[in-house]
Structure 1
Amino acid sequence: MFRSMATYAAALRSESAISAPIRQLVVLRVCQLNDGAYEWNVHVGVASKIGVPPGKIEELRNWSSSDLYSNDERVALGFADQMSANSGVDEAAFQKAMGAFGAKGVVDLAALIAWYVGNTRFAKALEIVPDARG
């Protein structure tokens, strides 16, 4: 099962229409919203390595009132907030995402968010904790 999960996760990274920095911000936001400490620990490092500025990571909890984020980042983070809330994505957020990323991008974004919502819950259910070494 884990090998299949890893293959799917690799496809989310390598075949996505969403840029790597936006994907990492979205993953981190999903981790915040779902108390995903293990995934947060992993993806802060990934985000930093690909050039996401530390300020964006630090300000992520307040992204909607911060001027650090681009329009596309705001669209993706708003989509993530709604999708992570178990209430679906409203028409306005969906249309903004379509405008920013196109149909393939919206599917890729939704798949990414769904995967990491599941991953955060998977790690919590199995009590997987961040590595103390960071």
Structure 2
Amino acid sequence: MSPRFRSLDRDELDDERRRVFDEIGRPRGGAVPAPFHIYVESPELASLVQAVGAFCRYRTGLAPRLSELAILTTAAHWKADYEFAVHAGEARKAGVPEHEIEALASGRRPDFDDEDAALVHDFAARFYRDNDVPDALFEAALARFGRRTVAELVGVLGYYSMLAIALRIFRVPTPEKAD
């Protein structure tokens, strides 16, 4: 399969795309992650995607380890190797045990160390498998996290699915293979 991804050169961008490129890179020391090289082609979309991503990544009611677990479950579902590779490192930093990361990478349900992690994974995995979440699982998530955080979990699943789809369609190589 031929590559479709192209890494943007900041100096070759028009003013509008350069402004958004810089806005995305600013909190990252100038680094612009691969998915945003795709979205900067549409500056308004890139700006909106960045705003939703900042919320989903840093401001939900989910503990960082649970958020990263939801992201890894999403990346594994979509077979988005770039997303999985990037977030495996973030998951380790957030306290997701290595055996859970390895199980997800191999397509297996991990043996979870805690009930919250199992609940987040099972919620996401059942949705991806069945295009629905059974009532009992939905009610368990509501009882544990509350309606607001369940809505935010759904947002995390949707946001990272959107990125995974873009990464797959544009055939973005894993970070160690990227240019």
TM-score between the two structures when normalised by the length of structure 2: 0.68
Q: Secondary structure at the match of 1:27?
A: helix
Q: Secondary structure at the match of 2:171?
A: coil
Contact kept? 1:39, 1:120, Cα under 8 Å: yes
Report runs of 4+ in structure 1 exceeding 4 Å deviation.
none
Alignment of 1:31-42 (within 5 A): 31-42=75-86
CA distance in 2: counterparts of 1:11 and 1:44, whole angstroms: 19
Gaps of 5+ in 2: 1-44
Contact kept? 2:142, 2:150, Cα under 8 Å: yes
Which of structures 1 and 2 has the larger relative contact order (alpha carbons within 8 angstroms, sep 6+)? 1
Q: Which amino acid aligns with 1:54?
A: E
The percent identity for this pair of structures is 22
TM-score between the two structures when normalised by the length of structure 1: 0.89
CA distance in 1: counterparts of 2:168 and 2:143, whole angstroms: 35
- Alignment counterpart, residue 134 of structure 2, candidates 90, 103, 113: 90
Q: Secondary structure at the match of 1:85?
A: helix
1:27-80 superposed Cα distances (whole Å, 9 cap, x missing partner)? 11111111111100110111112222212211334336x2x3311111111110
Give the match for residue 160 of structure 2. 116
Gaps of 5+ in 1: none
Q: Secondary structure at the match of 1:62?
A: coil
Give the match for residue 98 of structure 2. 54
Query: In terms of Rg, which structure is larger?
Result: 2
How many correspondences in the alignment? 132
Deviation at 1:86, TM superposition (A): 5.6
Contact kept? 1:29, 1:77, Cα under 8 Å: yes
Matched, 1:21 2:65: yes
